[in-house]
Amino acid sequence: MNKKFLLLTLVIIMIFSSFTTAAVELDDFDKNLFVKIFKDVNSDDLEYMARLGLDSKDISLILYYYSNSDKRLDRDDLDYLVRNRERISEFHRYYGMPQIIFDDELVRFRHPRRERHFAPLDTKKYDRKFEFRGGTEIIKVRGNNYDYKYNNKRTGVEERIEIKNQKYEYYYKDRNMVEMLDVHHANNKYSYYYKNFNTGRTIRKEGRGRKANKYNVYEELKEKYRDMEDDDWDGDDDWDDDDKYDDDHDDDNVSVKLDIEIDLSDLFN
């Protein structure tokens, strides 16, 4: 009798534990942080992701990947990420992202957004070639190796991503700009270069990056959010929204939001 009672008690505890870990409640600070930094993200989206068991740090890394990759966050991807929430940082290659962030900030690419194709998350073998008027798009995955090539002769856009065990290489060029990022995984050293052909603006960064895990990304987002909050007030302690009229979208100051394509409305049905 005692053994049966003990077994029943353990089962109840396990069931209760599964429910308590399945749902997470985000505080107001984190909600405000995500809504302010990431475009197209609202409180309903965040609350739904939290109910699935994703905490603020999980959500930070997910939104960071999707905002940089031009990938839409949909039901299938979200379900897969929830089931593999402890491995999210391993999926960086499927977003064409390096496994590091810069030593002083997040990696944020400055090239224009566009529609693109992606390999399915966590696939180990994938070969697709997409042909369109004036160009091609090629994706190849072999184990942990990822290769992406895009060439559009009509628009003058060329983009390449190569990810292997020991290196990450990114290259983008169009008629207005060029952007490059090289990372050596053995020591996490990186070299970043950007130039706007129209304005002559040039950015060079070199250093030793930090691992792009959910903890580091979340801390960087918090710092960015606090800077954005500080910049929203002028010297007279009045609300200052002058930055919303700023048309310099390729700047990297703290007022620039990170874009993300997100549509989770069907998840509430």
- CA pair distance 121, 234, nearest whole angstrom: 44
Whether residue 119 sits in one domain with residue 40? no
**Residue % of the chain over a pLDDT of 70:** 77
Of 11-25, 88-102, 120-134, the range with the lowest mean pLDDT is 11-25
Whether residue 227 sits in one domain with residue 194? no
Whether residue 230 sits in one domain with residue 196? no
Which domain-ending residue is among 165, 193, 208?
Answer: 208
Using an 8 Å Cβ cutoff, are 233 and 239 in contact? yes
Q: Of 114, 92, 110, whose CA–CA distance to 101 is shortest? A: 92
Query: Total domain count for the chain?
Result: 2
Q: Is residue 159's pLDDT more than 50? A: yes
Q: List the domain range (segments joined by +) for residue 164.
A: 101-208
Q: Is residue 20's pLDDT more than 60? A: no
Q: Of 109, 59, 43, 88, whose CA–CA distance to 259 is shortest? A: 109
Residue 256 is assigned to a structural domain of this protein: no
Q: Residues 221-247: pLDDT tens digits? A: 999 888 888 766 545 444 344 443 333
Whether residue 91 sits in one domain with residue 215? yes
How much is the CA Rg of the chain, to the nearest whole Å?
A: 21
Whether residue 37 sits in one domain with residue 110? no
Q: Residues 29-55: pLDDT tens digits? A: 999 999 988 888 888 889 989 999 999
SS3 at position 241: coil
Please give the pLDDT value at position 253.
37
Residue 260 is assigned to a structural domain of this protein: no
As to burial, measured by CB atoms within 10 angstroms (0-12 exposed, 13-18 middle, 19+ buried), residue 74 is middle
Residue 254 is assigned to a structural domain of this protein: no
